[in-house]
């Protein structure tokens, strides 16, 4: 690693630490405020500026929301996904671990989520 790469790393690390509160705030929403978490995630998705970040959102907090509260938010997700291409990209990175014949699983798969079988 050269000196310029080290400076970029140091600056990025400091930026992450300065903004760590946002990660914690979203996790608090995910722990008990699914509607607020959903609205926050829509803002995060809207703000994301590349495919890699949309994938990270999908495989991270969006997957967490759907794992914990799919029944509570599925109708809102379906409605929003019709006209939100960024959301559809993020959804394609969500892994669904429920039984394939479960109604919510079928709806999530129809949104583009990926099925991962539950461990035996």
Number of domains in the chain: 1
> What's the pLDDT at 52?
97
> What's the pLDDT at 46?
98
Would you say residue 80 lies in a domain? Answer: yes
Would you say residue 7 lies in a domain? Answer: yes
Question: What residue numbers bound the domain in which 20 lies?
Answer: 3-115
Would you say residue 24 lies in a domain? Answer: yes
> What's the pLDDT at 29?
96
Burial of 61 (0-12, 13-18, 19+ CB in 10 A): buried
The per-residue pLDDT string of the chain (120 residues; one tens digit each, 9 = 90 and over) reads 899 999 999 999 999 999 999 999 999 999 999 999 999 999 999 999 999 999 999 999 999 999 999 999 999 999 999 999 999 999 999 999 877 678 999 999 999 999 987 666
DSSP 39-70: HHHHHHHHH--SHHHHHHHIIIIIHHHHHHHH
């Amino acid at each position: 690693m050269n000196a310029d790469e080290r400076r970029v790393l140091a600056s990025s690390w400091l930026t992450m630490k300065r903004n760590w509160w946002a990660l914690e705030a979203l996790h608090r929403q995910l722990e008990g405020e699914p509607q607020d978490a959903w609205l926050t995630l829509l803002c995060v998705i809207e703000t994301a500026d590349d495919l890699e970040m949309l994938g990270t959102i999908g495989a991270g907090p969006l997957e967490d929301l759907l794992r914990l509260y799919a029944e509570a938010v599925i109708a809102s997700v379906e409605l929003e996904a019709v006209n939100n291409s960024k959301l559809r990209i993020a959804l394609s990175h969500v892994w669904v671990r429920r039984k394939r014949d479960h109604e919510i699983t079928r709806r999530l798969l129809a949104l583009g989520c990926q099925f991962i079988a539950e461990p035996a």
